[in-house]
Structure 1
Amino acid sequence: MGKQEDFVLRALEERDVRFVRLWFTDVLGFLKSVSVAPAELEGAFSEGIGFDGSAIEGFARVYEADMLAMPDPSTFQILPWRGGGDGPATARMFCDIVMPDGSPSYADPRYVLKRTLSAAADKGFTFYTHPEIEFYLFKNTPNAGDDPVPVDRSGYFDHTAQSRGSDFRREAISMLESMGISVEFSHHEGGPGQQEIDLRYADALSTADNIMTFRTVIREVALGQGIWASFMPKPFTTHPGSGMHTHVSLFEGDTNAFFEAGSEYQLSKTGRSFIAGVLTHASEITCVTNQWVNSYKRLLGGGEAPSYICWGHNNRSAMIRIPMYKPNKGQSTRIELRSIDAACNPYLAFAAILGAGMKGIEEGYELPREAEDDVWSLTERERKALGIRPLPRSLADAIEIAEGSELLPEVLGEHVYDFFLRNKRSEWEDYSRQVSAFERDQMLPVL
């Protein structure tokens, strides 16, 4: 038993913890939870908690169903919405999923990211991420056929007296901070009822764990206030979609590998090759960073969402933006990926982004020409002349491109890659069969 396990076992007693929830994530990014009594935790640390992997989306076939959830003691936190005050408390820990022989499960998204981070570490790099997470708050619980009603009619950075959104953000941030998740900024976004909360920089594994916790906290706080939170990428036709602009950087020890004093935009050759890798493989990884049929309504919808594969300095119409350099702030040199949305599986999305960027570094990809113009305002001919390709226009396009990818099966592993694409293909086919309100409204009166 290590020091971290000992700390957790002591904390259970000192904080009067009655239940410990063990969390893990399925291949599609949905949180799974099993609750154990404190008395069982010492055994769980050494032997794990057994479960039927074939009952979890994408985890195992029936004949290889037995799996074990091994708690990660470094992720122990009290759940602030489940007691934790004067009464009994409930805690949570994330788990790594292993096979009965102790080997890592190839279907565990957390392991997929760990494996990719380990490959980068072998090259001397640590991967850091900083997400800006957008979501909508609605007055009503979503029911089939009902239009969602936003909690307010405010806009970007609006400050309104006794705003439902600001009260919500205050409580949510307090809860996140109490769980050790540092928040950098929060504000009202451009759509009615739309919010943004930005998490502080952390290593990619911690950030992915934090995103899973964040989505749970946001929903819990909303339900506690009698409202509903949604990370759906594009809930309204006429209002902005919700993205998760993510700032990323690589460090070599304590040195930012993206920074080079005196170079253009203070960006090193490593940084330029990383960007080139992400751009080169952008179409292949889009089905992971934007995994739902609705994700493509956001990417095609304009606003702050990119539709084309390009990069630019401080250019918010580009898929990758290089934020403005601040003097004496070389350590904060980073790139901002603007296509990813908050409904993705963060473990797989970060693995795909890192895998693409590392491929660019390893093979010395050359960075293409910068997009200096507003990419949306260019004509199709002008974009072609500049070599600017579109992102996939639909989940079907993204799947077809991913099916021909060499990078994705390498990064995700064959099992996750095969299951993920089969599931996405099924989602597209289900979606394609649906007769939409648009078709009825446009065609019933005239056909």
Structure 2
Amino acid sequence: MDKQRDFVLRTIEERGVKFIRLWFTDVVGTLKSVALAPAEVEGAFSEGVGIDGSAIEGLTRAFEADVLAHPDPATFQILPWRGEVDPTARMFCDITTPDGQPAVADPRNVLKRALAKAADRGFTFYTHPEIEFYLLKSSKLKNGRPVPVDSAGYFDNVPGGTAHDFRRRSVRMLEDLGISVEFSHHEAGPGQNEIDLRYADALATADNIMTFRTVIKEVAIEQGVYATFMPKPFSEHPGSGMHTHVSLFEGDTNAFFDAGGQYQLSQIGRQFVAGVLRHAPEITAVTNQFVNSYKRLWGGDEAPSYVTWGHNNRSALVRVPLYKPGKGQSARIEYRGIDSAANPYLAYALLLAAGLKGIEEGYELPPEADADVFDMTSAERRALGYEALPSSLDRALLIMEESELVAETLGEQVFNYVLLNKRREWSGYRAQVTPFELEANLEAL
């Protein structure tokens, strides 16, 4: 840690860094920032920086508002979009109480607690997200609708197109920040793009996702367009998911790999999947935390709506890919439920907790779904025991409220705040009279 701190202080001096942004995340997943002068960084490392936690949604209760932000020197990066005029860097922070205890409502700490629990069992949790988003001409609506930057489709090559230049610039900026990109391509919707980050431990991935969203927004501004991670901005086009490939390692060994297992998935891997499936409805209010999230889940277009698993089944909630048969290090599962607007710290903590519960309790993996679940009738799905994911934020909150797993993993304060915040959102949504209702009912009734 001292070497990392020394490196940060030396780099600030050598590169002439004028501002250091201390980044942290509220419970909803909004990135927060405090700018620090270079002379204050050494003190921030040793003592932290005092912030008023009551001003941050969900971070503290009003009567314990004083918290400290401790920058993590391992996350130091110079922000490339700031250029050489007044160079600016950032570091992610851990939030503590004044007596040095981790703040119970710090989302980064929620994930660190879950990772520590996995480490106690000898596991390291790796994640690899595929992040989808839409590029729009602006944030303004035209005739009540957003306007995409193009009309291209899945994997289309658009020479000279906005999205092509945008992805190239974004990938270069992410690489400058030390975030490795595996793939980038146009997605199925007009103006929809996907950029996949290379696998890393879950804490680094969550930090990278928060940085990624900022980079995408900054590049969009630079290029005169607008980027949105809204789960379902168009009713007739696919939503934006954040399919995440996950694996557990025991030291250098992939605990999900078994050369003789079905799809080369080990018993630990099968139990992990069983845990994720059993607890999926309970964690959906976090992995899909907005009213709009349920338009994606129940809007078709390969978004999963039922608690199933499969191999090459794109309608399944959990997919077990087999990209490199016999290569044990690449064994993993893909959770397809998370959308691009989720708080990655909380979502990954719950995904890990659900999988570990399956391992601890020895859950049995149900039979594989080898047919398209959407093509089945309701009776067929019932006969096969395929449980539906929550159909609305309201339903997801009712299920989450009864979940011991979610309450224990998030901690009492975060658990209660998520429920309070999201109930408020649902109440506001429910009170609306929508254009659909007016068009369908006003003249007919």
- Tell whether the structures are fold-level matches, with TM greater than 0.5: yes
The CA deviation at 1:330 is 1.1
Q: Shift in Å at residue 443 of structure 1?
A: 1.3
> What is residue 56 of structure 1 aligned with on the other side?
56
State how far apart, in whole Å, the 1-side matches of 2:420 and 2:143 are: 28
Counterpart contact for 2:75–2:92, Cα < 8 Å: yes
One-letter amino acid matched to 1:308:
Y
1-10 vs 241-250, which moves further: 1-10
SS in 1 for 2:19: strand
Counterparts of 1:47-446 in structure 2, within 5 Å, are 47-83=47-83, 85=84, 87-142=85-140, 146-446=144-444
Deviation track 1:370-423 (CA, whole Å, cap 9, x = no partner) reads: 101111101111111111110000000000000111100110001100111111
Partner SS for 1:81: helix
Give the 3 Å change call, closer, same or farther, for CA 322–360 of structure 1 in structure 2. Answer: same
Equivalent position amino acid for 1:395 in 2: L
Partner letter of residue 359 of structure 1? Answer: K
3-state SS, counterpart of residue 79 of structure 2: strand
Name the SS for the 1:398 alignment partner: helix
Distance 1:146 1:74 in 2: 45
In the aligned structure 1, how far is the partner of 2:379 from the partner of 2:174? 47
Residue 15, structure 1, aligned to residue 8, structure 2: no
Deviation at 1:314, TM superposition (A): 1.5
Q: Does the CA-based 8 Å contact 1:266-1:325 persist in structure 2?
A: no
Structure 2 unmatched ranges of 5 or more: none
Whole-angstrom distance in 1 between the partners of 2:140 and 2:406? 34
Q: Is the 8 A contact 1:283 1:391 kept in 2?
A: yes
1:189-227, Cα deviation, whole Å (9 max, x unpaired): 000000000000000000000000000000000011110
Deviation of 1:328 (Å): 3.1
Contact 1:234 1:242 in 2 (8 A): yes
Quote how far apart the aligned CAs of 1:246 are. Answer: 0.5
**Gapped regions of structure 1 (runs ≥ 5):** none
Contact 2:134-2:148 at 8 Å conserved across structures: yes
If the length of structure 1 is used for normalisation, what is the TM-score?
Answer: 0.98
Distance 1:232 1:24 in 2: 21
Q: Which residue matches 2:6?
A: 6
Greater shift, 394-403 or 133-142, is seen at 133-142
Q: For 1:109 and 1:61, how far apart are their aligned partners in 2?
A: 15
1:34 equivalent to 2:15? Answer no
Q: What is the DSSP-based 3-state SS (H/G/I as helix, E as strand, rest coil) of the residue aligned with 1:196? A: strand
For the Cα contact (< 8 Å) 1:138–1:150, is it kept in 2? yes
Q: How far is 1:142 from its partner? A: 3.2
**Structure 2 counterpart of 1:305, one-letter code:** A
How far the C-alpha of 1:145 sits from its partner, in A, is: 7.3
Q: Distance in 1 between matches of 2:140 and 2:175?
A: 28
How big is the alpha-carbon RMSD for the aligned residues of Structure 1 and Structure 2? 1.0
Q: What letter is aligned with 1:81?
A: W
Q: Which amino acid aligns with 1:279?
A: L
Measured against aligned partners, the alpha-carbon deviations of 1:288-343 in whole angstroms (never above 9, x if no partner) come to: 10000000000000112000000001211100000025233111000000111010
Letter in 1 for 2:103: S
**Cα shift readout 1:26-62 (whole Å, capped 9, x = no counterpart):** 0000000000000000000001110111111011122
What is the Cα deviation at residue 262 of structure 1? 1.1
User: Secondary structure of the residue that 1:309 maps to in structure 2?
Assistant: coil
On the 8 A contact 2:259/2:326 being kept in 1, the answer is: no
Are the equivalent residues in 2 in contact too, given 1:273–1:367 (CA < 8 A)?
A: yes
Deviation at 1:146, TM superposition (A): 3.9
Tell me the residue number matched to 1:24.
24
SS at match of 1:95: strand
1:144 is displaced (CA, Å) by: 9.8
Q: Which amino acid aligns with 1:257?
A: A
- Taking the aligned partners of 1:98 and 1:235, their CA distance within structure 2 comes to 37
| Distance across 1 between alignment mates of 2:127 and 2:245 | 6
CA contact (8 A) 2:108 2:345 kept: yes
CA contact (8 A) 1:26 1:108 kept: yes
**Segments of 4+ moved more than 6 angstroms:** none
1:171-198 Cα deviation digits (max 9, x unpaired)? 0000000000000000000000000000
Deviations 1:332-358 (A, max 9, x none): 000000111010000000000000000
Cα pair 2:141 2:147 within 8 Å, conserved: no
**Equivalent-residue separation in structure 1 for 2:193 and 2:176 (angstroms):** 20
Q: Secondary structure at the match of 1:370?
A: coil
Alignment TM-score, normalising by the size of structure 2: 0.99
Distance in 2 of aligned mates of 1:370 and 1:441: 43
Secondary structure at the counterpart of residue 81 of structure 2: strand
The number of equivalent residue pairs is 445
Q: Please tell me whether the aligned partners of residues 265 and 325 of structure 1 are also in contact (alpha carbons under 8 angstroms).
A: no
* Structure-2 separation of matches of 1:324 and 1:213: 30
